[in-house]
């Protein structure tokens, strides 16, 4: 069958089950855009290419599939770099298709030509420049396979303009096989038997779950194992939702802004079972004192992540869900029966830590941001998909909204990208039209990609934006307060826009609360609306996120107030 390159691209997208792509047209991809109208694929026109990648990222996380975006050459391509870097850090499967100048002009500094393959090599799992039309379908299939297999990640495919017009003999897919790429997904059962031996003798075990559990769709297996073995569970920021936040065994998030009980538990445990984590610096704090009394088990699909940051007693390379399935098969309840008394002592100690230093705040005359999240959790019954921007808003959402399901907390964890939340919410809402999707934002970060309000309104996506408006770049201000003697250099944002009026200018609903009594009515009205909504909550300007571990300190050395 002879097709144009643009038609081949649409065919492969349909083969891969793609039903939605996010993008922005331009001259280098005009032939591809001309073909989109003939395909059974919905295109969502964003207002900035960074928003396209974040939206594809949010779509991927909400569905567990691959997100796709399409942009033109030059500035269109370079505008995707931040989104690619965020997806790369968080191991999110995204395929970014960029236009390029015609093949005969590559290297001539033609109009809107950039070496996007060279630019994005450090922040993609793999990337391609397709010069031979006969390789287009094969390359696109490989891109999807690489993006979603092994440790997932973003893949970029750069397509010169003339390939979109070229005539190509198209054949149906016969599967993908890449000789040099064979990720190991099956865990070593002998290693997992060693893990079970450690569990049998451990008196103070802790499970540390990360984003790898969510990405592998292993949350049910993790929950079953932790409950059977009566092992408390903490999670990284990316691991929220991997274990039910309402379960008594849940310790809360670990790390710089983790809960007191989570950090203290890891500090005192004798066995730490880490599943699908990277042990990044925001989790470990001072490496020398991290879980210093524990033997550490590390289960991860990426062998390069194991022993990269911490010493490990038992490494297990493989898919987290598969590893947890084997652990559940190996588990024998009678094997830990002799530990019941010590486990009770351990769980009692953890409860005392929780009771002594809970996540707490005092709601008085000025709206506390924690109170807004508490009410949001109550009114949505914990069922909403929550995206976040980055900063204090992100941490309060992680602390006070309790996630019982995976895929319901969508945030830029590794890169910490301001401007992520709104386009990611658009992607999640496009993927899950029947769910409530809320972007918890700060007044600073929401302005990074506020233009995507127009996208949400145009496509009737009823995203709710909850702005915790403290008129500061809040997290930087907090550091300035605690470590720079309150020298608030360049963090004051008193002259922010009227977000309610701005929402109305975009054709959305704008609401505002300035007193604690207004919080619940504004949330109810916003959540009950079938339109895109901005809810602006004027909160305590100098409220800080606690606990907080100072840079370079042990995670057990927390500032609590």
Catalogue the active-site residues: 49, 111-112, 161, 475
Spatial separation of the C-alpha atoms in residues 395 and 397, rounded to whole Å = 5
Tell me what pLDDT residue 206 has. Answer: 98
Q: What is the pLDDT of residue 476?
A: 98
According to the model, what pLDDT value does residue 288 have? 94
pTM of the complete model:
0.97
CATH of the domain spanning 369-538: 3.40.50.970
The dihedral sign for the CA sequence 47, 53, 59, 65:
positive
- DSSP conformational letter for 549: P
The predicted pLDDT at position 114 comes to: 98
Predicted pLDDT at 306: 94
Coil vs helix vs strand at 127: strand
Instruction: Provide the β-strand partners of residue 29.
Output: none
> What residue spans of 149-241 are helical by DSSP H?
161-165, 189-201, 211-215, 219-229
Q: Quick one: which of 145, 143, 323 has its CA closest to 217?
A: 323
What top-level class would CATH report for the domain 2-169?
alpha beta
10-residue stretch averages of pLDDT, the chain, 561 residues long: 95 97 98 96 98 98 98 98 98 98 96 98 98 96 97 98 95 88 94 96 97 98 96 98 97 97 98 97 96 97 94 97 97 83 92 92 96 98 98 98 97 98 98 98 98 98 98 97 97 94 98 98 98 98 97 95 84
- For the beta carbon of residue 504, count every other beta carbon within 10 angstroms: 13
**Any idea which architecture 189-356 has in CATH?**
3-Layer(aba) Sandwich (3.40)
**Residue 338: predicted pLDDT:** 81
CATH 3.40.50.970 in the chain is located at: 2-169, 369-538
């Amino acid at each position: 069958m002879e097709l144009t390159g643009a038609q081949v691209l649409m065919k492969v997208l349909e083969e891969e089950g793609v039903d939605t792509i996010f993008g922005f047209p331009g001259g280098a991809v005009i032939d591809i855009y001309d073909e989109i109208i003939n395909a059974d694929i919905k295109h969502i026109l964003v207002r900035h290419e960074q928003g396209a990648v974040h939206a594809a990222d949010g779509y991927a996380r909400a569905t567990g599939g691959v997100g796709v975006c399409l942009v033109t050459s030059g500035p269109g391509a370079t505008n995707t770099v931040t989104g690619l870097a965020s997806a790369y850090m968080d191991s999110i499967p995204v395929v970014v298709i960029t236009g390029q100048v015609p093949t005969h002009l590559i290297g001539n500094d033609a109009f809107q030509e950039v070496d996007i393959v060279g630019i994005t090599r450090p922040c993609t799992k793999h990337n391609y420049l397709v010069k031979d039309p006969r390789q287009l379908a094969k390359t696109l299939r490989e891109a999807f396979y690489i993006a979603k297999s092994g440790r997932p990640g973003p893949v970029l495919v750069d397509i010169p303009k003339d390939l979109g017009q070229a005539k190509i003999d198209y054949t149906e897919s016969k599967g993908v096989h890449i000789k040099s790429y064979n990720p190991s997904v099956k865990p070593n059962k002998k290693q997992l038997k060693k893990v079970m031996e450690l569990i049998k003798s451990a008196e103070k075990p802790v499970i540390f779950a990360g984003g790898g559990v969510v990405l592998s769709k292993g949350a049910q297996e993790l929950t079953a194992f932790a409950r059977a073995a009566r092992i408390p569970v903490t999670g990284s920021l990316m691991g929220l939702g991997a274990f039910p936040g309402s379960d008594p065994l849940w310790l809360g998030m670990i790390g710089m802004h983790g809960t007191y009980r989570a950090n203290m538990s890891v500090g005192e445990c004798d066995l730490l079972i880490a599943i699908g984590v990277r042990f990044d610096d925001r989790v470990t704090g001072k490496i020398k004192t991290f879980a210093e009394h524990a033997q550490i088990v590390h289960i991860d699909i990426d062998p390069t992540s194991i022993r990269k940051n911490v010493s490990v007693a038992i490494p297990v390379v493989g898919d987290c869900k598969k590893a947890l399935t084997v652990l559940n098969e190996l588990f024998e309840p009678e094997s830990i029966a002799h530990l019941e008394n010590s486990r009770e002592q351990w769980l009692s100690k953890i409860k005392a830590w929780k009771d002594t230093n809970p996540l707490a705040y005092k709601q008085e005359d000025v709206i506390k941001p924690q109170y807004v999240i508490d009410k949001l959790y109550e009114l949505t019954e914990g069922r909403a998909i929550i995206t976040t921007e980055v900063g204090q808003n992100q941490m309060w959402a992680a602390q006070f909204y309790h996630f019982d399901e995976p895929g319901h907390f969508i945030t830029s964890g590794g890169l910490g990208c301001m401007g992520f939340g709104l386009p990611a919410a658009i992607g999640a809402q496009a993927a899950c039209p029947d769910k409530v999707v809320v972007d918890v934002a700060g007044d600073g970060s929401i302005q990074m990609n506020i233009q995507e309000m127009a996208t949400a309104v145009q496509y009737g996506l009823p995203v709710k934006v909850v702005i915790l408006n403290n008129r500061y770049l809040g997290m930087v201000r907090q550091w300035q307060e605690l470590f720079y003697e309150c020298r608030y250099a360049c963090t004051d944002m008193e002259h922010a826009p009227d977000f309610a009026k701005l929402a109305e200018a975009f054709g959305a609903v704008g609401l505002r609360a300035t007193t604690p009594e207004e919080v619940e009515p504004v949330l109810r009205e916003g959540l009950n609306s079938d339109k895109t909504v901005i809810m602006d909550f004027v909160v305590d300007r100098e409220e800080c996120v606690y606990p907080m571990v100072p840079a370079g300190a042990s995670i057990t050395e927390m500032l609590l107030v």
